[in-house]
Structure 1
Amino acid sequence: MTVTQTATGRQRRVYVPRPADSAPPPDPPIYTELLRLWADRGRTLPGCHDPEWAELAAPTVRRGQFSDSPAPPDDER
């Protein structure tokens, strides 16, 4: 953030984004080690696709719900 002076003399913080061509700083070693430990134990990593979560979070779609065909009788659901 950059600090600027206003006409009244009050300081104001202005967000100035970094240039798009600059790379983000590398993760601190403690986070790199934690990610390695989680990966070794088969856990889901931040920023990676999690197929189990995608399946659990997917909406349930019943036969006939989104088509013109009639829904099956209650005993077939």
Structure 2
Amino acid sequence: MGAKELITNPLNEQQVMMLRLLKKPLPEADFAQIRQLVVKLLAQQMDEAIEEWENEHNITADSYDQLSKGHYRSLVN
């Protein structure tokens, strides 16, 4: 599978800019550091999205505690 087959939608401006920045191959250690930073950023964004969802649905630590004590086959109301 070629790279063209993986990209079904055109790239947005930020994606194009990142590709231009990374046009020249990086040393492996630098690339690993960039990957770690991206993963850290995405994890932070996911935490924020989950926290927002919990707040919107009034989900608390007690809610998770109750779910963890219930049987996985039982109906949750």
Normalising by structure 1, report the TM-score.
0.24
Larger Rg: 1
More helix by share: 2
More strand by share: 1
Quick one: higher RCO (CA 8 Å, sep 6+), 1 or 2? 1
Normalising by structure 2, report the TM-score.
0.24
